[in-house]
Amino acid sequence: MQYKAGSERTKYLESKGMRPGRLVAAPGDRVPDGPSHAVDVTTGETICGFPADELYLFDSIDWERASLIEKCTDCGKGVKR
Ligand SMILES: [Zn+2]
Answer yes or no: is 28 within a domain: yes
How confident is the model at residue 13, as a pLDDT? 80
Per-residue pLDDT tens digits for 60-76 = 899 998 887 899 999 99
How confident is the model at residue 18, as a pLDDT? 54
Q: Within a 10 A sphere around the Cβ of 8, how many other Cβ atoms?
A: 16
Which residues have a Cβ under 8 Å from the Cβ of 66 and sit 6 or more positions away? 5, 36
Cα 64 to chain centroid, rounded: 9
Per-residue pLDDT tens digits for 1-60 = 899 999 999 998 877 655 555 556 777 888 899 999 999 999 999 999 999 999 999 998
Enter the DSSP assignment of 8: S
Task: Give how many domains the chain has, as a whole number.
Answer: 1
CA of 3 to the centre of ligand 1 (A): 11
CA of 67 to the centre of ligand 1 (A): 16
Answer yes or no: is 9 within a domain: yes
Answer yes or no: is 78 within a domain: no
CA of 39 to the centre of ligand 1 (A): 8
Answer yes or no: is 69 within a domain: no
How confident is the model at residue 16, as a pLDDT? 63
Answer yes or no: is 68 within a domain: no
CA of 29 to the centre of ligand 1 (A): 23
How confident is the model at residue 81, as a pLDDT? 59
pTM of the model: 0.83
